[in-house]
Amino acid sequence: MMSAKIKGKEIMLEDKVVLITGGTKGIGKATAVMIAEHGGKVAITGRNVSDGEETVAEIEAAGGEVLFIQGDVAVEADIEASVAKTVERFGRLDGAFNNAGIGALGGPLAEIDSEVFDHVFTVNVRGVWLSMKHEILQFQKQGGGGSIVNCGSVLGQRVLPGAGHYPATKAAIEGYTRVAARDYGAEGIRVNLMAPGIIRDAGLGGSDAPEDFQDLMFSKIHLGRWGASKDIAGGVMYLLSDYASYVTGTILYVDGGYMIE
C-alpha cells in the first residue's frame, strides 16, 4: 500500500488531503501520483474525462486514494464544486496545488488579438485567484490552517522575445501568491509559488520549436539535462508538507539553474 511508512518514519504527506487542478496529465498528474505514493489522499480536476479516469486507475492500481472531478477553472461554479466534492469524499482539505493553466499564442504584443488576452488571463490568473478563494474559505471553515502552492514559471521573471501574454499571467500569479500569504499567514495558511523551468514531458520548453531555439534554451540549463514533471512534483510535495511549515510567500524555482543568469 502507498500509505506504508518508510523505514519507520512518517510519510511526507500521510493522510493529508490535497486538491490538484489540472491533475490529469503532465506536472499535475506526476504530482498526484507522488503525493499518493507518500500517503496523501488526492482529488484531481480536469476537463477531459478519459485522462481523469486513466490517472485514477493508475493511482488506485498502486494502492492510492484518489478522486477525479471533471471541471474547468475558467468556471467558478466548477472550482467551488471541486472543493466541496473533495471534502465530501475525504472529510477535509489540507492542501492544494493550483496547477491548471494554458499556454498562449505568442508574437509581438501589438499583433496579438485581444481575445487571446481574455482567454489566457481567464484561465491562468482568474482561475488561480478563484481556486485560492474557495480553498481558503474551506481552510477557514475547518480551522487549523492549510497550504496552497500556485504554479508559476521562470518566465514570470525571465521573458523571451515574442512570449506574448503568458509571462504576464505568471507574474500576476506571483503577486496574488504574495498577497494571499500576507493576508492569511496569521491564520496558519501558507501560500507559495512553484516556478518550473523547461519541463519537456509537460510541454514546457518548446520541444516542437526549431533546433536552434532548443539549443539556446538548453544552454541556459546549468545542470545539463531537460527537466521532468517529477522534478516539479518533488518541489510541490515539499511546499505542501510540514517540512515547509515556516515557508510562505516564497518562490521555489525548479529550473536546473535557468534563473542563475
Domains in the chain, ordered, with CATH?
Answer: 17-252 (3.40.50.720)
pLDDT tens-digit profile, the chain (261 residues): 444 444 444 568 999 999 999 999 999 999 999 999 999 999 999 999 999 999 999 999 999 999 999 999 999 999 999 999 999 999 999 999 999 999 877 888 899 989 999 999 999 999 999 999 999 999 999 998 999 999 999 999 998 778 889 999 999 999 999 999 999 999 999 999 999 998 988 765 655 667 777 787 888 899 999 999 999 999 999 999 999 999 999 999 999 999 997
Does the reported pTM lie above 0.95?
Answer: no
Per-residue burial over 107-119, b = 16 or more CB atoms within 10 Å of its CB, e = otherwise: eeeeebeeebbeb
184 in catalytic set: no
Name the burial class of residue 260, with classes exposed (0-12), middle (13-18) and buried (19+) by CB atoms within 10 angstroms of its CB.
Answer: exposed
**Cα–Cα distance between 2 and 5 in angstroms, integer?**
9
